[in-house]
Structure 1
Amino acid sequence: MSVFIAKRVLTLIATLIGASMVIFLVMEILPGDPALVILGVDASESAVQTLTKELGLDRPPLERYLSWIAGLMQGELGNSYAYKVPVWELVQGALLITLPLAIMSIILSIALALVIGLYAAANHNKAGDVTLMGISQLGISIPNFWLAILLIILFAIELRWLPAGGFPGWEEGVLKCLTALLLPSLALATVVGAILARITRSSVLEVFREDYVRTARAKGLSQRATLWRHVLRNALIPVLTVTGIQFAALLTGTVVVENVFHIPGLGSLVLKAINNRDTIVVENVVLLLATMVIMVNFLVDILYAVIDPRLKAHDI
Structure 2
Amino acid sequence: MSVFLAKRFITLLATLIGASIVIFTVMEILPGDPALVILGVDATESSVAALTKELGLDRPPLERYFDWIGGLLQGELGNSYAYKVPVSELVQGALQITVPLAILSMILSVTIALVIGLYAAANHNKASDVTLMGVSQLGISVPNFWLAVLLILYFAVNLKWFPPGGFPGWDQGFWKCINALILPAVALATVQGAILARITRSSVLEVFREDFVRTARAKGLSQRATLWLHVLRNAMIPVITVMGLQFANLLAGTVVVENVFYLPGLGSTVLKAINNRDTIVVENVVLMLAAMVVITNFVVDILYAVIDPRLKAHDI
Give the whole-Å Cα distance in 2 for the aligned partners of 1:286 and 1:225.
Answer: 45
Q: Which runs of 5+ in 2 are unaligned?
A: none
The Cα offsets for residues 116-172 of structure 1, whole Å up to 9 and x where unpaired, read as 000000000111111111111111111100000011111011111111111000000
Match of 1:264 in 2: 264
Match of 2:92 in 1: 92
Give 3-state SS (helix, strand or coil) of 1:189's partner. helix
Q: Which amino acid aligns with 1:59?
A: R
Match of 2:281 in 1: 281
Match of 1:242 in 2: 242
Q: Which amino acid aligns with 1:286?
A: V
The alpha-carbon deviation at position 314 of structure 1 amounts to 2.3
Match of 2:187 in 1: 187
Alignment of 1:5-154 (within 5 A): 5-154=5-154
Q: Does 1:173 align with 2:134?
A: no
The Cα offsets for residues 255-296 of structure 1, whole Å up to 9 and x where unpaired, read as 000000000101110111011000000000000111001110
The alpha-carbon deviation at position 315 of structure 1 amounts to 3.1
Match of 1:197 in 2: 197
Over 3 Å off, 4+ runs: none
Tell me the C-alpha RMSD between the 2 structures: 0.6
Equivalent residues, number: 316
Give the whole-Å Cα distance in 1 for the aligned partners of 2:34 and 2:312.
Answer: 51
The Cα offsets for residues 11-68 of structure 1, whole Å up to 9 and x where unpaired, read as 0000000000110011011110000000000000000000000000001111110100
The alpha-carbon deviation at position 313 of structure 1 amounts to 2.5
Give 3-state SS (helix, strand or coil) of 2:277's partner. coil
Q: Does 1:300 align with 2:300?
A: yes
Give 3-state SS (helix, strand or coil) of 1:37's partner. helix
Give the whole-Å Cα distance in 1 for the aligned partners of 2:287 and 2:115.
Answer: 34
Q: Which amino acid aligns with 1:208?
A: F
Q: Which amino acid aligns with 1:102?
A: A
Give the whole-Å Cα distance in 1 for the aligned partners of 2:183 and 2:43.
Answer: 44
Give the whole-Å Cα distance in 2 for the aligned partners of 1:2 and 1:239.
Answer: 25
The Cα offsets for residues 239-268 of structure 1, whole Å up to 9 and x where unpaired, read as 001110111111000000000000010111
Identity of aligned residues (%): 81
Q: Which amino acid aligns with 1:79?
A: N
Give the whole-Å Cα distance in 1 for the aligned partners of 2:94 and 2:313.
Answer: 43
Q: Which runs of 5+ in 1 are unaligned?
A: none
Give the whole-Å Cα distance in 2 for the aligned partners of 1:290 and 1:143.
Answer: 23
The Cα offsets for residues 205-230 of structure 1, whole Å up to 9 and x where unpaired, read as 00000000000000000000000000
Give 3-state SS (helix, strand or coil) of 1:43's partner. coil
Q: Does 1:254 align with 2:254?
A: yes
